[in-house]
Amino acid sequence: MPDLEIIGIPQSNYVWTCRIVCAEKGAPYKLIPAAPHSPEVNAVHPFGKIPVMRHSDVTLYESRAICAYVDRVFDGPPLVPAMPHLAAQVEQWISVINTQIDPLLVRQYLLGYFFPGTPDGKPDRTRIDAALPQMEKHFAMLDRGVGKTGFLVASAFSIADATLVPILYYLTKAPESKAMMDNARNLNAYLKKMMERKSVAETTPPPPPERHN
Ligand SMILES: N[C@@H](CCC(=O)N[C@@H](CS)C(=O)NCC(=O)O)C(=O)O
């Protein structure tokens, strides 16, 4: 029985990121599918967010910290390059994904479809429509980012790719973002290739229902 536990429901983009990293490293782990703010999660994360991690007497929260820990503790290919400027680029991507991409594309736009919180359960058009004008810029930046090598940093898979791929996958499940993905040639090819990667394919959660206007 592996003593590494990744705690959080598998549909969460950040739980998926951690699982991709475990798979890349060949790190055996147990997935405990706990919801945000459940007792298992609250015991570790001060704000009740998923994922959290337990490994022997080490507990961690925040996907970035969990991925860094798994990368350093387990064998397998390094998921942050050794060269300082490339390692810094990985950090730069993770930071911009966490502070710009995820808040707009996931929390505001996608959750406006999948967890709208509207009285009738219909998509929250106000929230979605407010996100749309800024989204083109995000897609253009990401399309440029993967255009050169097919990876976010240098020519190898890194924690930055593990952080981006789940978000891109979910963006293909809502109409406007799917159209933007279809128009972003590099990003489209990148996602297709990443979805075929063993670590991604074997951790992909069951698909959410497609959402329409
Ligand atoms: N910065 C955190 C973000 C984690 C996060 O936002 N998780 C979501 C699920 S994808 C969550 O727990 N949401 C519930 C909430 O915010 O209350 C990380 O990288 O782990």
- The structural domains of the chain, ordered by start, are 4-73 (3.40.30.10), 84-201 (1.20.1050.10)
Asked whether residue 1 carries a pLDDT value surpassing 80, the answer given is no
Q: What pLDDT, in 10s, does the model give residues 166-190?
A: 999 999 999 999 999 999 999 999 9
Q: Is the CB of 50 under 6 A from ligand 1?
A: yes
Asked whether residue 210 carries a pLDDT value surpassing 80, the answer given is no
Q: What pLDDT, in 10s, does the model give residues 53-99?
A: 999 999 999 999 999 999 999 999 999 999 999 999 999 999 999 99
Mutate to test the pocket of ligand 1, among 14, 18, 61 (most ligand atoms within 8 A of CB): 14
For residue 206, the model assigns a pLDDT of 84
Asked whether residue 6 carries a pLDDT value surpassing 70, the answer given is yes
183 in the Ramachandran plot: left (φ > 0), alpha (ψ -120 to 50) or beta? alpha
Average pLDDT score, the chain: 96
Q: Is the CB of 49 under 6 A from ligand 1?
A: yes
Q: Is the CB of 12 under 6 A from ligand 1?
A: yes
pTM over 0.75: yes
Asked whether residue 211 carries a pLDDT value surpassing 80, the answer given is no
Listed as own residue / partner, the contacts of 89-93 with beta carbons closer than 8 Å and 24 or more positions apart are: 89/152, 89/153, 89/154, 89/160, 90/152, 90/153, 90/158, 90/159, 90/160, 93/145, 93/152, 93/153, 93/160, 93/163, 93/164
